[in-house]
């Protein structure tokens, strides 16, 4: 069975689920999903990304998004939704919320599970990507397995 560690920051959409569950054809796939709640340190970067994408209303609403402890509940719901969606497609899926040091946790999960790959599925983060500070760029130097970066779909 092929094992993928899937890093996400929002619930998987049906398009995302279809895509990640069919990446390896008919091969059975197991997912370990790592969900990171939104953090207040990322608010400015998210707003800049929204502006870069021409999504000004989203940039204005960044201050209304739950953060810190308030973001944990929505993150848990997003994780459960995503796991259920993957399982409905026939994949094995487990997951957890990661709050501190996501790349250290990613490395530990890859090592513990013997994962074959990491898939980073996030919204575009232009500022971080430009400076190679996004999860995928940083993970490529840390985890020792292939890292695939995909852009999440909006519903």
Q: Calculate mean pLDDT across residues 106-131.
A: 81
Contact 8, 31 (CB under 8 A): no
pLDDT of res. 58: 57
pLDDT at 40 over 50: no
Give me the half-sphere count of Cα atoms (radius 13 Å) on the Cβ side of residue 17. Answer: 20
pLDDT of res. 112: 96
pLDDT at 152 over 60: yes
In whole angstroms, how large is the CA radius of gyration of the chain?
15
Residue carrying structure tokens 């250290």: 104
Backbone angles phi, psi at 21, to 5 degrees: -80, -10
Q: Calculate mean pLDDT across residues 111-127.
A: 83
Using CA atoms, how far apart are residues 48 and 54, in angstroms rounded to an integer?
10
Residue 38 pLDDT grade (very low, low, confident, very high; cuts 50, 70, 90): low
Sheet holding 147-151, edge to edge: 92-97, 29-35, 2-8, 117-122, 147-151
Q: What is the DSSP letter of 98?
A: -
- Ranges of beta strands (E only) in the chain are 2-8, 29-35, 92-97, 117-122, 147-151
Contact 47, 59 (CB under 8 A): yes
């Amino acid at each position: 069975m092929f094992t993928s560690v899937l890093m996400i920051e929002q619930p998987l959409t049906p398009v995302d689920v279809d895509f990640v569950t069919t990446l390896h054809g008919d091969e059975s796939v197991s997912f370990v999903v790592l969900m990171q709640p939104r953090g207040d340190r990322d608010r400015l970067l998210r707003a800049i990304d929204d502006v870069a994408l021409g999504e000004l209303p989203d940039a204005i609403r960044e201050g209304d998004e739950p953060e810190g402890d308030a973001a944990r509940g929505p993150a848990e719901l997003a994780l459960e939704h995503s796991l259920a969606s993957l399982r409905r497609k026939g994949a094995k899926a487990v997951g957890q919320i990661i709050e501190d040091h996501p790349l250290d946790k990613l490395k530990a999960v890859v090592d513990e599970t013997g994962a074959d790959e990491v898939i980073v599925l996030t919204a575009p983060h232009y500022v971080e990507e430009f400076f190679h500070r996004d999860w995928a760029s940083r993970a490529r130097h840390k985890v020792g397995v292939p890292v695939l970066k995909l852009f999440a779909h909006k519903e």
